[in-house]
């Protein structure tokens, strides 16, 4: 199994980034071949709404998006990590998601299926970390990622959301969150385990992560 981890945080070794790295360790322990990508290292322009994708279902802007989306489509397991900015994914994550509008067009407008050569039973794990106590902090992330993954025909297998974490590297003091990242990825990276019929949804508070 190929596990691709995408860190969208603008901070190197930020909290969502560290959870992603731990999740990749869990996937590797299950035998997966892992790869880590940091979006801040890539040149990906925002969608300019040119609507060229309505012709063939492909994005015509040429940058680092094309090789990245090829990796995403060919991964058996996608682990997508983001910090929470204004109650949703960060801008780096949203730029990538918006560029995948072409896949929504391909699926729902042009009625063109993705190639049959792609790995079957592709699945995803979403990691998000926020600073506030708000109970609705992750609602927008759930909805955004649901439709993003749906456009790519990837099953949302697991969510790991942690709140009241903000300072750089603070998550390292919270072993429960790190352990959950490892455990979840290990479980869904096991090729003997089919994608769950219902998304595993784990939300941890600051106090719970200290256990």
Task: Give the residue among 167, 144, 135 at the shortest CA–CA distance from 97.
Answer: 144
Q: Is 211 exposed, middle or buried (0-12, 13-18, 19+ CB in 10 A)?
A: exposed
Query: For the domain 2-209, what is the CATH superfamily, name and number?
Result: Flavodoxin domain (3.40.50.360)
Interstrand relation of 2-7 and 77-85 (parallel, antiparallel or unpaired) = parallel
What are the extents of the domains in the chain? 2-209
**What distance, in Å, lies between the first and last C-alpha atoms of the chain?**
32
pLDDT digits (tens, 9 = 90+) for 125-166: 999 999 988 778 899 999 999 999 999 999 999 999 999 998
The pTM of the full predicted model, rounded to 2 decimals, is 0.94
**Using 50, 70 and 90 to split pLDDT, how confident is the model at 209?**
low
Cβ atoms 129, 174 nearer than 8 A: no
pLDDT digits (tens, 9 = 90+) for 147-158: 999 999 999 999
Mean pLDDT of the chain: 93
């Amino acid at each position: 199994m190929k596990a691709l981890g995408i860190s969208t945080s603008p901070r190197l070794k930020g909290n969502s980034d560290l959870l992603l790295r731990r999740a990749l360790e869990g996937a590797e322990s299950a035998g997966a071949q892992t790869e880590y990508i940091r979006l801040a290292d890539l040149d990906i322009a925002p969608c300019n709404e040119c609507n060229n994708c309505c012709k063939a279902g492909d994005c015509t802007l040429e940058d680092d998006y094309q090789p990245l989306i090829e990796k995403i489509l060919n991964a058996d397991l996608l682990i997508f990590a983001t910090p929470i900015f204004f109650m949703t994914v960060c801008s780096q994550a949203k730029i990538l998601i918006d560029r995948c509008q072409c896949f929504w067009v391909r699926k729902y407008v042009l009625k063109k299926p993705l190639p049959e050569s792609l790995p079957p039973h592709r699945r995803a794990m979403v990691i998000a970390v926020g600073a506030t106590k708000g109970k609705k902090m992750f609602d927008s992330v759930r909805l955004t990622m649901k439709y993003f993954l749906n456009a790519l025909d990837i099953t949302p297998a697991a969510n790991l959301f942690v709140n009241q974490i903000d300072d750089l590297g603070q998550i390292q003091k919270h072993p429960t969150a790190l352990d959950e990242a490892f455990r979840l990825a290990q479980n869904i990276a096991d090729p003997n385990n089919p994608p769950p019929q219902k998304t595993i949804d784990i939300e941890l508070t600051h106090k719970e992560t200290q256990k």
